[in-house]
């Protein structure tokens, strides 16, 4: 099971989170991507704990339902583990090392960086290129995670009747997906610094890209679930009713002032704090020229404008599907409405086109 993408003809990008499973299939024609199929389904309560799948069969059933609605015949899937579950390290190898010797040498060095017995670990590596710091060396990126994390995700995919072809890591998938938002970046992101904030249900990822490469990433516990829970408490609704009301409206007139505005304040504070952490994380850090707001919370009316006015940086709702054609089947599954929450799924689906 490879952690880095290997060429495979058609892959479904499958994002499995504590709140939902989202899957998307992309194709390309005439240099333009097209969404062939899309669907999402709620993750069963308590099936995932702290990003670890504890009930693979239940998650598999959610994936199966989404697959049926998507209407795709593709069976091959790319999935991702969370960045906090992975060890990512750039190591050096002699520049003249033979390809046949590389794997054995990486395995010898890997033991120094992985704090688990090697028989409990899944790992992979990719040659980055000549090292800038060490002229006689190659930089090699090593990625490792506990095998049980990988096996739990594979088990859920297999329970759905699908084939797990690639296991990626979420920060790499996000970086891959950001290629789809270059139309929203100054100069297409080239030689520019752009922040991407992906608000999930229970956790958020703040990333900074320089020249379309992730140079900083931070995960923290905050997400749309907190707004849902506040709606529950304020109006005495069930979790399901609160979630539906949040999406579809129909809440009392005081909702904006009493519940939504304080939540937007919290979102803004999280972005501001993350910017401060980033700027303090190393010398030469540049203030991002733009912030792309992604995830389900990005659909809150006016939220990007509020964030922009308070942090003093231009902000916009990120849309990875903005330059794509959509099939009628994908439109029927409301892929346009959900687009901003599909960074990880899109990044995984793009593995279909790896050279």
- Distance between the two ends of the chain, CA-based, in angstroms? 18
Digit-coded pLDDT (tens) for 211-228: 999 999 999 999 999 999
Q: What is the pLDDT of residues 245-291, one digit of tens each?
A: 998 888 999 999 999 999 999 999 999 999 999 999 988 899 999 99
CB 251 within 8 A of CB 237: no
- CA atoms within a 13 Å half-sphere pointing along the CA-CB vector of 332: 8
Which pLDDT score is estimated for 5?
47
All structural domains of the chain: 12-83+149-179+337-353 (3.30.420.40), 85-147 (3.30.1490.300), 180-317 (3.30.420.40)
Specify the DSSP class assigned to residue 260: I
* Residue 1 banded pLDDT, cuts 50, 70, 90: very low
Phi, psi of 251 (to 5 degrees): -85, 160
As a whole number of angstroms, the distance between CA 256 and CA 226 comes to: 15
Q: What is the mean pLDDT of the chain?
A: 92
The pLDDT assigned to 3 comes to 53
Q: What backbone phi and psi angles, to 5 degrees, belong to 321?
A: -100, 5
pLDDT in the model for residue 282 = 86
Q: Is the dihedral of CA 257, 260, 262, 264 positive or negative?
A: negative
What is the Cα–Cα distance from 349 to 10, expressed in whole angstroms? 8
pLDDT of 355 > 80? The answer is no
pLDDT of residue 24: 98
Q: What is the mean pLDDT of residues 178-205?
A: 95
- Beta strand segments in 57-161, E: 76-81, 86-94, 121-130, 137-146
Q: How many CA atoms lie within 13 A of 68 on its CB side?
A: 9
Q: Which pLDDT belongs to residue 249?
A: 87
Query: For residues 244-266, b (16+ Cβ closer than 10 Å) or e, as one string?
Result: ebbeeeebeeebeeebbeebbee
In the prediction, which pLDDT does 29 show? 86
* Burial class of residue 109 in the structure, from the number of CB atoms within 10 Å of its CB (0-12 exposed, 13-18 middle, 19+ buried): middle
DSSP, res 332: H
CA 223 to chain centroid: 14
| pLDDT above 90 as % of the chain | 74
**Confidence bin at 130 (pLDDT 50/70/90):** very high
Instruction: Report the distance separating Cα 111 and Cα 18, nearest Å.
Output: 32
């Amino acid at each position: 099971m490879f952690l880095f993408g290997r060429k495979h003809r058609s892959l479904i990008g499958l994002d499995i989170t504590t709140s939902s499973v989202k899957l998307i299939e992309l194709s390309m024609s005439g240099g333009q991507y097209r969404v062939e199929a899309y669907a999402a389904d709620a993750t069963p309560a308590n099936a995932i704990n702290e990003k670890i799948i504890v009930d693979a069969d239940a998650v598999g059933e959610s994936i199966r339902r989404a697959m049926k609605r998507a209407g795709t015949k593709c069976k091959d899937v790319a999935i991702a583990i969370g960045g906090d579950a992975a060890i990512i390290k750039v190591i050096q190898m002699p520049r003249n090392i033979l390809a046949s010797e590389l794997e054995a040498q990486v395995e010898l060095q890997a033991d120094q960086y992985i704090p688990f017995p090697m028989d409990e670990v899944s790992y992979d590596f990719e040659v980055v290129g000549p090292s800038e710091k060490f002229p006689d060396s190659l930089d090699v990126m090593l990625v490792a995670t506990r095998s049980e994390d990988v096996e739990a995700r594979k088990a859920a995919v297999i329970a759905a009747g699908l084939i797990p072809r690639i296991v990626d890591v979420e920060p790499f998938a996000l970086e891959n997906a950001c290629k789809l938002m270059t139309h929203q970046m100054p100069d297409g992101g080239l030689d520019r610094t752009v922040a991407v904030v992906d608000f999930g249900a229970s956790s958020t990822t703040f990333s900074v890209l320089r020249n379309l490469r992730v140079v900083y990433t931070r995960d923290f516990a905050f997400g749309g679930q907190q707004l849902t829970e506040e709606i529950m408490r304020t109006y005495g609704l069930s979790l399901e009713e609160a979630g539906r009301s949040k999406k579809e409206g129909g809440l009392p007139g005081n909702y904006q002032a009493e519940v939504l505005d304080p939540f937007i304040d919290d979102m803004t504070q999280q972005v501001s704090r993350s910017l401060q952490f980033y700027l303090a994380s190393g010398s030469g850090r540049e203030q991002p020229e733009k912030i792309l707001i992604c995830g389900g919370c990005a659909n809150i009316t006016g939220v990007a404008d509020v964030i922009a006015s308070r942090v003093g940086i231009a902000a916009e709702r990120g849309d990875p599907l903005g330059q794509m054609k959509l099939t009628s089947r994908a439109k029927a599954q409301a892929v346009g409405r959900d687009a901003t929450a599909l960074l990880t799924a899109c990044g995984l689906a793009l593995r279909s086109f790896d050279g």
